[in-house]
Structure 1
Amino acid sequence: MRLLFLGDVMGRAGRAAVAAELPGLRARLRLDFVVVNAENATGGMGLSGAHAAEILAAGADCITLGDHAFDQREMLAFIETEPRVLRPLNYARAAPGAGARLFDAPGGRKVFVAQALGRVFMKQPFDDPFSALDAALKTAPLGGRANAAIVDVHAEATSEKVALGHWCDGRASLVVGTHTHIPTADTQILGRGAAYQTDAGMCGDYDSVIGMDKLEPISRFVTGMTRGRFEPATGPATLCGVYVETDDATGRALRAEPLRLGGRLPEVVPGVE
């Protein structure tokens, strides 16, 4: 199976890049399933129902969220009506929606998608992501109910992401980090067959401070004072993510490559053999 995961969509620039590039990528890479993290797609904080619909219409099969899952209050109701949008497994227990789901893919195949929030350096005391993912992955074992499984680890600490990657190895086809918005250079296949990258990067304008217009973040670092609101940068966006090919029978990754397209970063686009 050919899978693509796109990192945090950041504001209008990120949404525009997804709308412009994802349809062509689906055809060019002959993709079977696409997951997009979109928790920053609406004004840099959260996701609205209308913007979720735009991203799904562009070719996403599933959208994951994160610690800003419900910053847009309408998502509290929208997520109950749209099963293709997932919030973190270990979010507040009363939160609406689901944190994992089994999806249909072409040819009668099944893809399991789950998301968990890290706890290190995060502002809220979320539940344990290790036990949450352990329980979720047991419901859709590779080679059983699922032909492939994708885990989005939305976390701040690199060490926690790496540990969760190894925790899920052998039970997931791809474990990929989100939240820190900078694509890492460690794309690999772990010992038991899980593709892994510590952070997918963002789909946003990299002439910025992790997607936000530079002036306000720099001012806060220099002066320690808040002078205005953070606003998403609006320049040309780079689409960042991870491309994976898997074995349908075992769910193990056979190939894993980073993807960077457009904007300011050097382009890295997988070839198709």
Structure 2
Amino acid sequence: MKLLFIGDIVGRPGRNIIKENLKNLIEENNVDFVIANGENAAGGNGITKKIAEELFDAGINFFTMGNHVWDNKEIFSFIDTEERIIRPLNYPPGAPGKGSNIIEVKNNLKIGIINISGRTFMQALDCPFRTCAEEIEKINKITNIIVVDFHAEATSEKQAMGWFLDGKVSLVVGTHTHVQTADERILPKGTAYITDVGMTGAYDSILGIDKDEVIKKFLNQLPARFEVASGRAQLNSVLVEIDEITGLAISIKRLNMLK
């Protein structure tokens, strides 16, 4: 099967490039399933039900989230019932929603998807390594095709997760930093890996945000209201081919667009 994982969607520019181009990308690359990180889809802060539905209609099959999952309070009204959106698994018990799910892709072919948050320079949640390993054991009883979105800040922590899960999952993709890395590879035991898949949003920006406001913040160190940037947009993603029998990766390549 072919899986497309799209980097963090930031605001209207990110949504528009998805709506205008994703279906063509799916057709051109024979994509079977599309996952995107959607934690910044609504004005750079969280996601709403309306925006999620628009992006599902555009061709996205499933959303992972991250530390901004709760920024738009509307999420509390639908995250418990929407099976196509998950938040980081390692939030404490009692948090709304869930951190993994199993979805049927085609002809009884199922994929397990796990969202996990790092702890280095991030909120101190439960151990991502132990939490993820426990969840993989449960999912393996149903399918061996497993994708992990590791939403983390530190490249070292992301690389550690890749090596920790090598041979246990199909793909470990890093999100959160919004800057695509050039280290995509198949690890020795068959897991596809990239430290960060990048961002889908305004190209002439700082992480999708108006660059002048961010620069001003660095210069004066005063509180600032950040706004999503406008103008041309980029779409960062990785295209991964996975063996449907073994669940291991066959190939991974970056698939990007600038409009």
Q: Judge same fold: TM > 0.5, yes or no.
A: yes
Residues 187, 256 of structure 1: 8 Å contact kept: yes
Residues 223-247 of structure 1, C-alpha deviation per residue, up to 9 Å, x if partnerless?
A: 1112x41001111211101110011
In 1: Cα distance, 2:175 partner to 2:131 partner: 17
1:182 is aligned to 179
Q: Which residue of 2 aligns with 1:154?
A: 151
1:255 paired with 2:251, answer yes
User: What corresponds to 1:270 in structure 2?
Assistant: none
Q: Which amino acid aligns with 1:139?
A: K
Residue ranges of structure 1 left out of the alignment (5+ in a row): 264-273
Deviation at 1:99, TM superposition (A): 0.5
Alignment of 1:5-84 (within 5 A): 5-84=5-84
Aligned counterpart in structure 2 of residue 233 of structure 1, from 224, 229, 233: 229
- Report the CA distance shift for 1:147/1:29 in structure 2 as closer, same or farther (over 3 A): farther
Q: State the distance in 1 between where 2:79 and 2:93 align.
A: 15
The counterpart of 1:163, out of the listed 160, 164, 189, is 160
Q: Is the 8 A contact 2:239 2:252 kept in 1?
A: yes
In the other structure, the counterpart of 1:203 is 200
The offset of 1:215, in angstroms, is 1.1
Distance of 2:61 and 2:22 partners within structure 1: 11
For the 8 Å contact 1:22–1:59, the answer to whether it is kept is yes
2:86 counterpart residue number: 86
Q: Quick one: distance in 2 between partners of 1:185 and 1:215?
A: 27
Aligned to 1:268: none
Q: Is the 8 A contact 1:9 1:37 kept in 2?
A: yes
Q: Is the 8 A contact 1:177 1:197 kept in 2?
A: yes
Any conservation in 2 of the 1:79–1:97 contact (CA below 8 Å)? Answer: yes
Question: What are structure 2's unaligned runs of at least 5 residues?
Answer: none
Asked whether the 8 Å contact 1:3–1:244 carries over to 2, the reply is yes
Kept in 2: contact 1:243–1:257 (CA 8 A): yes
8 Å CA contact 1:109–1:147 kept in 2: the answer is: no
Partner of 1:135: 134
Partner letter of residue 257 of structure 2? L
1:169 to partner: Cα distance? 1.1
Aligned to 1:271: none
- For each residue in 1:96-143, what CA deviation from the matched residue of structure 2 results, as whole angstroms up to 9, or x when unmatched? 111001110112101000010000001x211110011001111122xx
Distance 1:125 1:59 in 2: 34
Query: Partners of 2:252 and 2:29 in 1: how far apart?
Result: 13
* Counterpart in the other structure of 1:245: 241
After TM superposition, give the deviation of residue 92 of structure 1 in Å. 3.4
State whether residues 144 and 169 of structure 2, in contact with CA within 8 Å, keep that contact through their aligned partners in structure 1: no
* 2:174/2:196 contact within 8 Å kept: yes
Inter-partner Cα distance in structure 1 for 2:110 and 2:136: 14
Counterpart Cα distance in 2 of 1:247 and 1:77: 37
Shift of 1:29: 1.0
Q: What is the TM-score of this pair, normalised by structure 2?
A: 0.97
Once residues 91 and 216 of structure 1 are traced to their aligned partners in structure 2, the CA distance between those partners, rounded to angstroms, is 32
Deviation of residue 218 (structure 1)? 0.3
Residue 222 (structure 1) aligns with: 219
- C-alpha separation in 2, matches of 1:219 and 1:17: 28
The secondary structure found in structure 2 opposite 1:139 is helix
SS in 2 for 1:191: coil
TM-superposed CA distance for 1:148, in Å, is 1.6
SS of the residue 2:256 aligns to: strand
1:126 maps to amino acid: L
Identity value in percent: 44
Q: Distance in 1 between matches of 2:10 and 2:92?
A: 24
Cα offset for 1:147?
A: 4.6
How far does residue 93 in structure 1 lie from its aligned partner after superposition?
2.2
**Cα separation, 1, equivalents of 2:159 and 2:108:** 32
SS in 2 for 1:90: coil
